[in-house]
Chain A
Amino acid sequence: MLSRRDFLQVAAATTVLTGAGGGLARAAALQALSQRDLLQFEALGQVTLLHFGDIHAHLTPLYYREPSINIGAGGAAGLPPHLTGDHLLQAFKIAPGTPEAYAFTCSEFEALARGYGKLGGLDRIATLVKAIRAERPHQTLLLDSGDTWQGTYVSLQERGADMVRAMNELGVDAMTAHWDFTYGTERVKELVAQLKFPFLCGNVQDSTWGNWAFDGSKIFERGGVRVAVIGQAFPYTPIANPAWLIPGWTFGIHERRVQEQADQARAAGADIVVLLSHDGFDVDRKLAARVKGVDVILTGHTHDAIPQAVRVGRTLLIASGSHGKFLARLDLEVKDHAVSDYRFRLIPVFSDAIAPDPAMAALVAGIRRPYQAELGRVLARTETMLYRRGNFNGTFDDLICDALLAERNAEIALSPGFRWGPTLLAGQEITLEDLYEQTAITYPAAYRQSMTGAELKAAMEDIADNLFNPDPYYQQGGDMVRVGGISYAIDVAKPMGQRISELTLARNGTLVDPAKSYVVAGWASVRQGTQGPPVFDVVRAYLERQKSVSIPPRQLVRVSGADPRGIAACG
């Protein structure tokens, strides 16, 4: 099974790890990383659900560092997914240094990444899906929680058509959506028409008459069981992303509608009900406790990779990670119209251990071919690891903020707290493709405007409440806005308007004056008519001038009031 490249990687990882103790066991674990082991699963019951979401248009393998800071607000404090690094390892009894430790956490990330290599790749996922379908013929449903069509250079050029082709080839059975809507109303309709499977968004209405705009659910028969799948699009799409791109559609959580759809599905003969959701994990945890008769929620949006199913009453919640890093397998035994037993595994898609599926590999190569020269264009090299995911600034965000400050001649930079965007290791080249994987959106204007200190604080308070409101229904999704040129303190436990303090200018250490105006540069404004050059052009110009960047983690944000299990020291 081991190729030469694998062997070299194993050798390199062993060298790194033996220094930390337990080296032999870790080396053995590395040797055990085979396709067969990743597919190892004792089948159970009549139905297998396969699930992924938040793939963000990634067709090829990548590094993605899970967050070191993911703080749980209110009742979610200290519960999965708000366990990071070693806290997660302990809670799920995962040994440090193992493939699972690397896949699920940021612990020792950089060293382990060099050993275990990249994860994901749609050709590898296709191999796993085909193998499981062969093992469980006519018993398997493949479901995608959305955020599928956006996130790369190619998907931006193709306006999502690349991902529709790839998902049709993979044989997805149903999807729901969020970022997918950012191509605009007309394009969404075109892409939905190209899908060979239903686009389920039960919570989207036309805003004039209140009619439901899409199919909300579909009943599938698998292994003699009638499985109803209800789709739930991201409830705050027109708030978190530009409403002007999708005029005429209104979203929302609509508990009563979910209940009605579940009841109707049961009345129509469904044995079990699955909610295919882009709500975010904490929203779904609350929803699960308030809606009856939903057996499984396949969650998405918040990018959480939770190694086990989470139970809320009679509902199982599955969180399958992002960027194609994982494929979730949930086997269900169904008796008397209810789930009587289940078995679950979140399979990390180790790209070096899984043979690519030839058909999908050819499709992916064909999709990328017209863009190959642009994708591989080297802009600079990084001397330090660049990552984004986490509640506050990642180093890739710091780089973008540096570019905004320099290229737009601003005092303060703001960069959105998106959860998507892969990781680059120290010493890697930064290609045009890498840059777009952090910035590829349909409203990329990098604005430059004057803001008073009071306005800045109000904006930051607003965004902080969207992340740390103790009631998840008031959380809008996304991590905290990233900042450049300033530092601040945040008490996440305080109410809205009182969390942010000590806003300080980095260049001279003085406090931001509420009455004074500052020049602020940023991007991804949801306002129509925002002026400025596209952010990818701004950062590209900066990188080409710098040639090499070095961005060690910065201590820009001092956090208090947080449950400590959501904060980890990581590699």
Chain B
Amino acid sequence: MPDSDPHIPATTRRQFVLATGGGLLAAALAGLFPTAAAADATDVEKWLAAFSPAKPTPGKITIGAPDIAENGNVVPITLTVDSPMTAQSYVKGIAMAAEGNPLPAVTVIELSPANAKAEVQFRMRLAKTQTVTAVALMSDNTLWSATKTIKVTIGGCGG
């Protein structure tokens, strides 16, 4: 399984980002959901607007995830952005939201040309069947998005 940065385990990347100066944006965004109330698609839109006010265009970013989760507590996600990752053209940041979670702000990951490859992997918890959204902010300040429905099922009955 390829990883964009083998030195930083995916599970700690968010803490890493939050701990650095570049994480100020992420910290501010996380603050938009102070309480664990039921979220919806509008909340996700508001949160993403804080990430960047531009309207995202579908494309450039892909969500690699199971269609049906084997375990909703640890759903493996791979986000890949189509970008050369050069000093002239790179991905500044990726945000991921899960509208059906009590706290839909899943993560903000900041990237730079030093990452060489715009691909990140992590596992996230999904409270129920829902649509997740990923957004990529590019160095030219354009915003690209992808959505995917992931089912969290009670299982059984297959055969």
Q: Chain A residues in contact with chain B, CB under 8 A?
A: 147, 178-179, 209-210, 234, 236-241, 243, 250-253, 416-420, 459, 462-463, 465-466, 469, 471, 473-474, 476-479, 481, 496, 524-526
- Judging by beta carbons under 8 Å apart, are A526 and B159 in contact? no
State A513–B8 Cα separation when bound (angstroms).
52
Q: Is B155 an interface residue (CB 8 A)?
A: yes
Verify if B34 is at the interface (C-beta below 8 Å from A): no
Q: Smallest CB–CB gap between B68 and chain A, Å?
A: 6
Mask, B50-69, CB within 8 Å of A = 1, is: 00000000000000001111
The smallest beta-carbon distance between A379 and chain B, in angstroms, is 23
A419 to B159, CA, bound (A): 6
How far does the Cβ of A484 sit from chain B's closest Cβ, in whole Å? 15
Do B158 and A240 have beta carbons less than 8 Å apart? yes
B120 to chain A, nearest CB (A): 15
Complex: A193 Cα to B151 Cα, angstroms: 35
CA distance A474 to B1 in the complex (A): 24
Which residues of A are found within 8 Å of B70, using beta-carbon distances? 238-239, 243, 250-252
| CB nearest to B69 among chain A residues | A239
Among candidates B151, B155, B159, residue contacting A465 with C-beta atoms closer than 8 Å: B151
Size of the B side of the interface (Cβ < 8 Å), in residues, is: 17
Q: B156 on the interface (CB 8 Å rule)?
A: yes
Bound: A463/B157 CA distance, A: 8
- Give min CB distance, B31 to chain A, whole Å: 32
Cβ–Cβ contact B154 & A462, under 8 A = yes
Would you call B115 an interface residue if the criterion is a C-beta within 8 Å of the partner chain's C-beta atoms?
A: no
Q: Which of B68, B69, B154, B158 contacts A478 (CB 8 A)?
A: B158
In the complex formed, the residue of A with least CB distance to B64 is A256
In the complex, which residues of chain A have a beta carbon less than 8 angstroms from the beta carbon of B129? 496
A67 to chain B, nearest CB (A): 14
Q: A462-B153, A474-B67, A496-B129 are in contact. List 11 more A-B contacts (CB 8 A).
A: A179-B159, A236-B68, A236-B158, A239-B70, A240-B155, A240-B156, A240-B157, A417-B159, A462-B154, A474-B149, A478-B159
> Taking chain B's interface residues, is the majority helix, strand, or loop, or is none over half, making it mixed?
loop
Which residues of the partner chain B approach A469 to less than 8 Å between Cβ atoms?
Answer: 151
Q: What is the CB-to-nearest-CB distance from A522 to chain B, in angstroms, rounded to a whole number? A: 9
Given contacts A462-B153, A466-B153, contact A476 B159 (CB under 8 A): no
Residues in chain B near residue A178, CB distance under 8 A: 159
Least CB separation from B65: chain A residue? A252
| A251 CA / B149 CA spacing, docked (Å) | 18
Whether the pair A524, B156 counts as a contact (CB closer than 8 A) is yes
Q: What are 16 residue pairs bridging A and B, where the CB atoms are less than 8 Å apart in the complex?
A: A209-B1, A237-B158, A238-B70, A240-B156, A240-B158, A241-B158, A241-B159, A250-B70, A418-B157, A420-B159, A462-B153, A463-B156, A474-B68, A476-B155, A479-B157, A524-B156
Distance from B122 Cβ to chain A, minimum over Cβ atoms (Å): 14
Interface members, chain B 17-43 (any A CB < 8 Å): none
Q: Mark B118-159, 1 if CB is under 8 A from A, else 0.
A: 000000000001000000000000000000010101111111
Tell whether, in the assembled complex, residue A239 and residue B149 are in contact, meaning their CB atoms are under 8 Å apart. no
B1 touches A210 (CB 8 A): yes
Task: Name the B residues within 8 Å of A241 (CB-CB).
Answer: 158-159
CB neighbours (8 Å) of B149 from chain A are 474
Instruction: Indicate whether A252 sits within 8 Å of B158 (C-beta atoms), given known contacts A474-B149, A474-B151.
Output: no
B71 at interface (Cβ–Cβ under 8 A)?
A: yes
Is there an interface contact between A240 and B159, defined as CB atoms closer than 8 Å?
Answer: yes
Specify which chain A residues have a CB less than 8 angstroms from the CB of B68 in the assembled complex: 236, 239, 474, 476
Q: Report, nearest first, the 6 A-B pairs whose CB atoms are least far apart.
A: A240-B158, A210-B1, A418-B159, A478-B158, A478-B157, A477-B158
How far is it, in angstroms, between the C-alpha of A496 and the C-alpha of B154 when the chains are bound?
14
Q: Tell me how far the C-beta of B82 lies from the nearest C-beta in chain A, rounded to whole angstroms.
A: 15
**Complex contacts, B159 vs chain A, CB 8 Å:** 147, 178-179, 240-241, 416-420, 477-478
